[in-house]
Structure 1
């Protein structure tokens, strides 16, 4: 498996490194998290690691980067990163055509305001292409992967707690017959999904781990494939048309598997011609977007796995997708640095092409009300598009570091961004801006 990383500040020389937190200091929560509950009192390091909205209004960087101690200003370093950041490509195809297709977008908007940034929790990326490592279940509750743990961050209490540890041997709460009756430990987490008090975690060797958040112990842990290159690339949790909860896994063995979320029985599996990197189910549970090591994206029948449509237009491999809540639009994110929007009423060509700044589109999320589409690049940029403007207006969130995942809160009031970096890895929180249109009319 290839290793590819653009390290923050790799192009910079420092006047003084003394301001940078030591790995031990910034990784205190990470390292101690392997064997202990992390709801410790960390107030002593909060002033160094946290950044509030009030501090930002007074001139502090949202990530706490002390630019005054560097040889380069923030603007200068942004210029350097834009020129020198290396986007990973699997298919070296010319991109000239993409530029002509991309939609012109006004990026000077602000839909979500910066609220808080903490370096007490940070996502750990173990595969440079997989960035679904964060999920919000409310505007106050976020779950993210950190080393061999899944952490819960409370934005109300500003505290973190370990909810799942996969470094130690995992014992399931329910006894399963072979081949599921195995003991696992030190699982490398590749993807995380949370829904309805159930957390599902994928592993580098094809593992699937499920835990009920309101119950102790692990409910299910198994290696769901025997293939040597079997990494679980993504997990989607959804309701079937009949109303039951399903867990859908996409694996490098070119298969999709559907599990019952109640008893974890494997209900079906579908084979595809290439490694499957991502799946997402339409809101009505009938269609499955299938993306992988191909420039084509597929739509398949969620019950039979039969391909019903091919989506052609991307130039590289795809790793992210999302459905608009109305079920008519599906978005696909690709290593060619674009997100394409597809209208089910006409799939012969994409409805629109949205362009990133420097890297692959690794994560895509629609807000639950359908108003916004968040698109995260591999690093440095998250774009929030207003769907009501036909995706023509956008807020560009500019930060530094590899992005581990993004998530809207279910009520759309918060947007969370996970940043993975040795020093500045963190969790950023943005709150939705509300306009008083009545007052606007008055003035």
Structure 2
């Protein structure tokens, strides 16, 4: 993947005259500039409720009435000027014949709330796994040098992990080479301290980590860093449970992390890096269990629901399915024309979705992986985020900016809802309840960075008017 570090995004309130521009340095991002800028404190930030949206307020709070063009006019400009990032200059003519046409006029989810009290940020323009939900009320987002928890019930944000300073593990650690158990103190003040001289399996202190990817499952948070770091933390406990630098190479960014349950029932953490290696740790002693080398940088990986299969995607147009225990290749998935950065397994474990910079999402039946059974196309850019709903009814596909498409799986992906917004998309996630009652979308933007919440449309949705 490209080694392109983006400056930290921040909330900036522009003056009375807005001039929306394309920010090519961060992947054609949406921003406001012009006029006298000043910092706008949270007390002045206005959230947008479902009622306000129904009464005509813009979903993101963009004051179109004060601009020289309408929302529709600006949308047309974006569609014409947005340039999709490509790593491989290959002809894409053949893709058109494979594409499945989907009607994007359905409405499975209704807008519920937009809050700017948490503002997702993006470290690397190709990595967008920065929004995770553990319930329909609990969402975690990466914001500058912090992981923030947002309670949609209390309408309150709270920092659960800070990586702006030194990060040290605070629990018993097992060193498998020497068969020694060490109690790692959190009061270590210097990296030169003898207690800090641990190998990778034992962990080591980190400092000022730029979080490139993350995952939260149940009570465990795993975060990867721009220089190859890995941090694990229990969200209800202070400090980090484990942290280390996986590669020792500052250019080997941690591209993806995965928390999953192995076939024997144990919880494991997996990390993929630019050094072409996928590593697996247990979560009891945080000892290194496996290291699987591949022929190219691994940009994304995901484990099947039963814990037996591993999808591996990276700096190749081919994707792999491997045995999660041995790393042995089982199948090669061919059809994409560029590098892949997103994958998701259907809850039944039989379907794998892969997202690519060729602007497509391909769907594979792992029982017959010779070719994709469906190819879905993005509107303006690469498919950088994929999520199946827990009940398997929907697939959400997020592009780098502006569009999230929610496909109806039961309709053979022929029906879809298109969520149209403005800004770089930091992540998308369904709430993990059986009905997937909430869908969260993180937007990274200097002015309109926010977290948007959508609620599953039900027959009695009119009751929302009382919220």
Q: TM-score, normalised by structure 1?
A: 0.90
Secondary structure in 2 matching 1:63: coil
The 2-side partners of 1:314 and 1:264 are apart by: 36
Equivalent of 1:232 in 230, 243, 254? 254
Q: For residues 389-436 of structure 1, what are the alpha-carbon distances to aligned partners after superposition, in whole Å with 9 as ceiling and x for unaligned? A: 011100000000000001100011100000000001100000001247
Structure 1 residues 434 and 69, CA, compared in 2 at 3 Å: closer, same or farther?
A: same
2:93 matches 1:91:
no
Residue of structure 2 aligned with 1:428, choices 415, 440, 452: 452
Aligned length: 412
Match of 1:173 among 170, 174, 178: 170
In structure 2, distance between residues paired with 1:196 and 1:71: 47
2:440 matched residue in structure 1? 416
Contact 2:28 2:82 (8 Å CA) reproduced? no
Matched, 1:103 2:100: yes
Query: 1:414·1:432 contact (CA, 8 Å) conserved in 2?
Result: yes
User: Aligned match of 2:125 in 128, 147, 152?
Assistant: 128
Alpha-carbon distance, 1:194 to partner: 0.4
In the other structure, the counterpart of 1:112 is: 109
Match of 2:145 among 145, 148, 151: 148
**Residue 50 of structure 2 corresponds to residue 53 of structure 1:** yes
Tell me the distance in 2 between the aligned counterparts of 1:356 and 1:262. Answer: 41
From 64, 68, 74, the equivalent of 1:67 is: 64
Contact 2:27 2:125 in 1 (8 A): no
Unaligned 5+ runs, structure 2 = 6-24, 172-182, 185-196, 461-467
- Alpha-carbon shift at residue 229 of structure 1 (Å): 2.0
CA contact (8 A) 1:23 1:422 kept: no
The answer to whether the 8 Å contact 1:284/1:327 transfers is yes
Structure 1 unpaired stretches of 5+: 29-41, 437-443
Counterpart among 169, 176, 184 of residue 206 in structure 2? 184
Report what 2:135 is aligned to.
138
- Provide the residue aligned with 1:39 in structure 2: none
Q: CA deviation at 1:49?
A: 2.6
Please name the residue that 1:441 is paired with: none
Once residues 52 and 38 of structure 2 are traced to their aligned partners in structure 1, the CA distance between those partners, rounded to angstroms, is 24
TM-score (norm. length: structure 2): 0.86
Which residue does 1:356 correspond to in 2? Answer: 378
Q: Deviations over 1:92-120 (max 9, x none)?
A: 11111112211010100000100000111
Residue of structure 1 in register with 2:26 after alignment: 5
* Match 2:420 to one of 398, 407, 431: 398
* CA RMSD, 1 decimal: 1.6
C-alpha distance in 2 between matches for 1:259 and 1:13: 45
Q: Tell me, yes or no, if the aligned pair for 1:13 and 1:71 is still in contact at 8 Å.
A: no
Matches within 5 A, 1:145-294: 145-174=142-171, 175-176=183-184, 178-179=198-199, 180=202, 182-294=204-316
Q: How much does 1:170 deviate?
A: 1.3
> In the aligned structure 2, how far is the partner of 1:13 from the partner of 1:208?
36
Question: C-alpha displacement at 1:172, in angstroms?
Answer: 1.6
